[in-house]
Amino acid sequence: MNGAESLVRTLHAGGVEVCFANPGTSEMHFVAALDRVEGVRCVLALFEGVVTAAADGYARMTDKPAATLLHLGPGLANGLANLHNARRARTPIVNIVGEHATFHRRFDAPLTADIEALAGQHSAWMRTSENSLTVAADGAEAIAASLSPPGGIATLILPADTAWGEGGAIAPVPAIPARERVDEAAVRHVAGLLRSGEPVMLLIGDKTLRGRGPELAGRIAEATGARLMAPMSNARMERGAGRVAVERVPYPVDVALTKLAGIRHLVLVGAVAPVAFFGYPGKPSELKPVDCDVHVLATPAQDGIDALTRLADAVNAAGTPPPLAPASRPALPNGGALDPAAIAAVIGALLPENAIVVDESITTGRDFFRATMGAPPHDWLQLTGGSIGIGIPLATGAAVACPDRQVVTLQADGSGMYTLQGLWTQAREGLKVLTLIFANRSYEILKGELAGVGANPGPKAHDMLSLDRPALDWVHLARGMGVEAARAETPDALIRAIRAGLDAPGPYLVEVVL
Amino acid sequence: MNGAESLVRTLHAGGVEVCFANPGTSEMHFVAALDRVEGVRCVLALFEGVVTAAADGYARMTDKPAATLLHLGPGLANGLANLHNARRARTPIVNIVGEHATFHRRFDAPLTADIEALAGQHSAWMRTSENSLTVAADGAEAIAASLSPPGGIATLILPADTAWGEGGAIAPVPAIPARERVDEAAVRHVAGLLRSGEPVMLLIGDKTLRGRGPELAGRIAEATGARLMAPMSNARMERGAGRVAVERVPYPVDVALTKLAGIRHLVLVGAVAPVAFFGYPGKPSELKPVDCDVHVLATPAQDGIDALTRLADAVNAAGTPPPLAPASRPALPNGGALDPAAIAAVIGALLPENAIVVDESITTGRDFFRATMGAPPHDWLQLTGGSIGIGIPLATGAAVACPDRQVVTLQADGSGMYTLQGLWTQAREGLKVLTLIFANRSYEILKGELAGVGANPGPKAHDMLSLDRPALDWVHLARGMGVEAARAETPDALIRAIRAGLDAPGPYLVEVVL
């Protein structure tokens, strides 16, 4: 078999079931090989930023890597912003980038680029395959590398002749190391802090925001008086009624510092120490009191759940009832303006059980997290790397991963425009995604940031933050890509539109006009 | 004044009149400074790939750099694919990328990235500013670097505190070197080839495709019997009735080799030796006969027009009448199917005088170039680096540069989807751009490429090349971004729609359904 087929068969044997693709000439043998291998679903996207974020969303829900298929350096470049986010989410991805045939590279053809220079900083592992005999083994290593704790992007660069050359054979996936168990000394050290009487905060992140993580951390906090928080942005949180509600470090520096005031010991469990999103004149970069010590119980690559289990035992918290969020939904608004508070209430009231929420709501969504705390259990996926334009495609990948669950995308309009092409893939694949576009028709967050950095804006500056000349019409944009859509300008209309969207068999978009 | 203001004032003093921007927090001081400096027009785009291609289109028409304004590593990443094209077009661009404040970089905040690693390969010049005292001088150097022959991308990375810090002052732009004059020996050598009686082809590229370049080359060809061609893809050609028509090296390898068969000497004038767009099994990478020698009369950085002037003198061709294209338009089709031939005839018949044509028509447009050879004089701008998604934003920048000229974008549908956000900027700025979307609803070119690389496709592979499930509705997409639009399914409807579009005061889009 040729190299492409050996690679596709290796991916399949290694558990890669989905390939998100925007292929070109150099990837044609890979695409052709998909016809000869059952069991790898190929999902087409019309822009590479959709490909990479969809792979991210898929793996956040399955803990298995999807493959991407990108066309040469420029195709990779278009996908980099969402690979940046995926790297920050520690998402396993087998990132396949086509390259010119090895004999063709030296001629500097128009599409020639230094692919390794572009992909290096996003990749936990990277290799350019040398020939069709080894490409399958390279793919097998890529799978293992992507899944090695804490999880990351494995970039496999595939010169076209490694795909069309013969002599390929399926390669076995190397052993994937288990998450490292935390030293007993680290557990004892943190247990000592918790018993010291000094103010302690547990900051739990990554996989400890799922499964037994929040519950264990909640028991420990309850038993010891420690406080409990999560990082500002997280790949996936399991939350809702009957689960421990974990508050997040706020975005504004001053608010975050107030929130963490008085903490003497910050204990990291699968998280890194919180830092400000941006540097501001005269403000600190580290979001903790100056006299607060930072302690690592478990890195994101270590087994945080095991560490929390042992820590709960060490502080006699294993039997302490965790503070579970009671089932509770906001009341549906009765008339009034369609402002962020009303929107939050509607979402909190209507969010279906077991929903997957993708949150790129930026300014409009500041109350959404609180308003859904007591909604039926659900997952909450965030923008992890700050590179806007993740929501629509991340939701697309999550829906491919979980066809039986409703995906709800909470999407700011400015950010949504970066990767709106993902709506077409939702239509093509018939995915159950309800997208709420919050149309404030501005880069609203930047108006606050202008003040935050001490800039003194005039009319030209404000004009650069306004998206209302002309107003984007998201109903037209959605229909242009085959997605049914409605506009809501009142709370009642929003309620009706969300109900219609949840009833729809496929994707549905609501333009929520603020 | 602060660093941002000193930079904006330096850009203005250095002749930078337009800034295409998609800013974020770290660029807010730069945006605020625009209010204090008259004469720099700031054009907002909703995606960075629009920013960079618009800057490319602007400079192709003005020979002056525009500034970009991009937000950190991810914002740059989104703009890289079209910077790749701009680099291949040798377009001057002052590419400004915001960066975290210097004190904030070490904290690895979510948006932190290695910006230099991303921008390096596209940049003829690159610098990260160190403080507010030197940022203006860095900007002045960037202007000079962008304009230094042959022209290129000067990337200025702007940590936020270099913008908000005080003590800035306007800096003068360093002297820009003139294009180097070609050695007399090179002119004599080529004159000797032309007199040798052996088959010679002049391949003229870059700036020699404008002004007196084609005419001089035409005189030389006419006088000596040499053949004349241009590279496959060119930043800008001046052509049409009354100008010398220059054929381009064809895209398909076999066709190109046939076209160049028999040539013994290939003389490069502002061009590089032609290579195949992709490598194919069993096909050569170099698009010239194996026994053909390559000679450089002028590199793209040298003064090719001067070299042609002297060469014309050397071969006594200065007085030879050049073979000018006669005024001639195809007849408008009378009924029949709306196929590529009919579309080509309509475009050739209706293209207005002095139009700027942006050609990303891929497969549908194979006859457009020939059909417009005798149309009134116009400029023809192409996809130079093979990274699709340039058309809509390149046209946007060209229209900003030339408000008195009609821009006509010949746009394939698959490619158009990469940067459709550019339509909104066209609406916002009221630009005279007529966009024809060729809706064949497939990555049609890849169907040929599948065969070309010897792949044996099945239904899954074909499905990856089809955009008809669902069909994109470009009329809805355009209206969603505030652009008036119509659909044409017959030649008559296309004629009516183009006339309506040319009469419209602002942008207009026609979905041409094949």
Is B174 contained in some domain? no
- The share of chain A scoring above pLDDT 90, in percent, equals 92
- Contact yes or no for B315/B191 (Cβ under 8 A): yes
Window from A19-28, B176-185, B205-214, B377-386 with minimum mean pLDDT: A19-28
Strand order in the sheet with A293-298: A247-248, A227-230, A200-204, A265-269, A293-298
Give chain B's domain count: 3
Residues A146 and A268 in one domain: no
Residues in B touching A456 (Cβ below 8 Å): 32
Q: Do A479 and B457 touch (CB under 8 A)?
A: no
| Pick from A74, A164, A467: CB nearest B81 | A74
**Comparing B370 with A458, which gets the higher pLDDT?**
B370
Is A145 contained in some domain? yes
Q: Do B28 and A446 touch (CB under 8 A)?
A: yes
Q: Do A458 and B286 touch (CB under 8 A)?
A: no
Q: What is the pLDDT of residues B471-501, one digit of tens each?
A: 999 999 999 999 999 999 999 999 999 999 9
Residues in A touching B107 (Cβ below 8 Å): 275-276, 285-286
Q: How confident is the model at residue A444 (pLDDT cuts 50, 70, 90)?
A: confident
- Contact yes or no for B132/B2 (Cβ under 8 A): yes
Q: What is the pLDDT of residues A211-253, one digit of tens each?
A: 999 999 999 999 999 999 999 999 999 999 999 999 999 999 9
Q: How many CB atoms lie within 10 A of CB A39?
A: 11
Residues in B touching A109 (Cβ below 8 Å): 275-279, 285, 386
Q: Do B286 and A107 touch (CB under 8 A)?
A: yes
Q: Token digits for B377? A: 């004089």
Using the predicted structure, report yes or no on whether residue A463 has a pLDDT greater than 90: no
Distance CA A510, CA A498 (A): 7
CA nearest to B278 within chain A: A100
Using the predicted structure, report yes or no on whether residue A338 has a pLDDT greater than 90: yes
| Interface test with chain B among A104, A132, A423, A437, by most B beta carbons within 10 Å | A104
Phi, psi of B491 (to 5 degrees): -55, -40
Query: How many interchain CB pairs under 8 A, A with B?
Result: 313
- In sequence order, the 6+-apart residues with CB closer than 8 A to the CB of A118 are A73, A76, A77, A80, B80, B118, B121
Residues B17 and B158 in one domain: yes
Distance CA B405, CA B398 (A): 9
**Comparing B451 with B67, which gets the higher pLDDT?**
B67
Q: Do A277 and B446 touch (CB under 8 A)?
A: no
Mean pLDDT, rounded, of chain B: 96
The CATH code of the domain that includes A356 is 3.40.50.970
Angle at CA of residue B388, ends B394 and B419, nearest 5°: 60
Residues A28 and A107 in one domain: yes
The CATH code of the domain that includes B215 is 3.40.50.1220
Q: What is the pLDDT of residues B425-440, one digit of tens each?
A: 999 999 999 999 999 9
Residues A265 and A355 in one domain: no
Nearest chain B CA: its distance from A483 CA (Å):
9
Nearest chain B CA: its distance from A468 CA (Å):
9
Q: Tell me, what's the pLDDT at B452?
A: 77
| Pick from B118, B424, B450: CB nearest A472 | B424
Q: What is the pLDDT of residues A287-337, one digit of tens each?
A: 999 999 999 999 999 999 999 999 999 999 999 999 999 999 999 999 999
* pTM as predicted: 0.98
| Interface test with chain B among A107, A428, A487, by most B beta carbons within 10 Å | A107
Is B329 contained in some domain? no
Nearest chain A CA: its distance from B199 CA (Å):
24
Q: Are strands B378-382 and B237-239 parallel, antiparallel or unpaired?
A: antiparallel
| Pick from B21, B110, B114: CB nearest A277 | B110
Q: How confident is the model at residue B12 (pLDDT cuts 50, 70, 90)?
A: very high
Three-state DSSP class for A10? helix
Average pLDDT over residues B4-17: 97
- The share of chain B scoring above pLDDT 70, in percent, equals 100
Using the predicted structure, report yes or no on whether residue A25 has a pLDDT greater than 90: no
Q: Domain of A287?
A: 184-314
Residues B41 and B87 in one domain: yes
Give alpha helix (H) positions in B90-148: 115-119, 135-147
- Contact yes or no for A148/A175 (Cβ under 8 A): no
Distance CA A484, CA B209 (A): 48
CA nearest to B31 within chain A: A461
Using the predicted structure, report yes or no on whether residue A186 has a pLDDT greater than 90: yes
Q: Do B387 and A160 touch (CB under 8 A)?
A: no
Nearest chain A CA: its distance from B361 CA (Å):
16
Burial of B328 (0-12, 13-18, 19+ CB in 10 A): exposed
Q: Do A117 and B113 touch (CB under 8 A)?
A: no
Average pLDDT over residues A274-292: 96
DSSP A17-85: -EEEE---GGGHHHHHHTTTSTT-EEEE-SSHHHHHHHHHHHHHHHSSPEEEEE-HHHHHHHHHHHHHH
Q: Do B80 and A77 touch (CB under 8 A)?
A: yes
Residue among A156, A155, A157, A152 at smallest CA distance from A86? A152
Residues A426 and A395 in one domain: yes
- The share of chain A scoring above pLDDT 70, in percent, equals 100
Residues B11 and B111 in one domain: yes
Distance CA B23, CA B43 (A): 11
**Inter-CA distances, B131 with B6, B50, B127, B153, Å:** 12, 29, 12, 22
Give alpha helix (H) positions in A249-324: 253-260, 304-314
How many secondary structure helices (H) and strands (E) does chain B include? 20, 18
Using the predicted structure, report yes or no on whether residue A456 has a pLDDT greater than 80: no
CA nearest to B36 within chain A: A458
Residues in A touching B104 (Cβ below 8 Å): 276, 278-279, 285
Q: Residue B94 region, left (φ>0) first, then alpha (ψ -120 to 50), else beta?
A: beta
Using the predicted structure, report yes or no on whether residue B456 has a pLDDT greater than 80: no
Residues in A touching B458 (Cβ below 8 Å): 32, 35-36
Q: Token digits for A471? A: 């107003």
Average pLDDT over residues A336-361: 97
Residue among A133, A417, A369, A125 at smallest CA distance from A240? A369
Q: How confident is the model at residue A184 (pLDDT cuts 50, 70, 90)?
A: very high
Q: Tell me, what's the pLDDT at B458?
A: 85
Beta pairing partners, A77? none
Q: What is the pLDDT of residues B85-121, one digit of tens each?
A: 999 999 999 999 999 999 999 999 999 999 999 999 9
Is A328 contained in some domain? no
Residues B347 and B223 in one domain: no
Q: Do B476 and A474 touch (CB under 8 A)?
A: no
- In sequence order, the 6+-apart residues with CB closer than 8 A to the CB of B281 are A161, A164, B453, B454
DSSP B273-310: --B-SS--TT--SB-S-TT-EEEEEE-TTB-HHHHHHH
Q: Tell me, what's the pLDDT at B454?
A: 76
Residues B373 and B275 in one domain: no
Phi, psi of B480 (to 5 degrees): -60, -25
What is the b/e burial string over A260-279, where b = at least 16 CB atoms within 10 angstroms of the residue's CB?
Answer: beebebbbbbbbbbbbbbbb
Q: Tell me, what's the pLDDT at B460?
A: 85
End-of-domain residue from the set A129, A164, A199: A164
- Contact yes or no for B421/B481 (Cβ under 8 A): yes
Distance CA B193, CA B205 (A): 19
Nearest chain A CA: its distance from B367 CA (Å):
22
Q: Do A164 and B281 touch (CB under 8 A)?
A: yes
Q: How confident is the model at residue A180 (pLDDT cuts 50, 70, 90)?
A: very high
Residues A252 and A391 in one domain: no
Is A324 contained in some domain? no
Residues B486 and B344 in one domain: yes
Q: Do B457 and A31 touch (CB under 8 A)?
A: yes
ipTM score assigned to the predicted complex: 0.97
Residues A8 and A87 in one domain: yes
Nearest chain A CA: its distance from B332 CA (Å):
30
Q: What is the pLDDT of residues B328-382, one digit of tens each?
A: 999 999 999 999 999 999 999 999 999 999 999 998 999 999 999 999 999 999 9
Q: Do B459 and A35 touch (CB under 8 A)?
A: yes
Is A179 contained in some domain? no
Residues in A touching B384 (Cβ below 8 Å): 110
Is A178 contained in some domain? no
Using the predicted structure, report yes or no on whether residue A453 has a pLDDT greater than 90: no
Strand order in the sheet with B125-128: B41-44, B18-21, B66-70, B93-99, B153-159, B125-128
Residues in A touching B457 (Cβ below 8 Å): 28, 31-32, 35
Using the predicted structure, report yes or no on whether residue A457 has a pLDDT greater than 80: no
The DSSP H or E segment spanning A368 is helix A368-371
Is B387 contained in some domain? yes
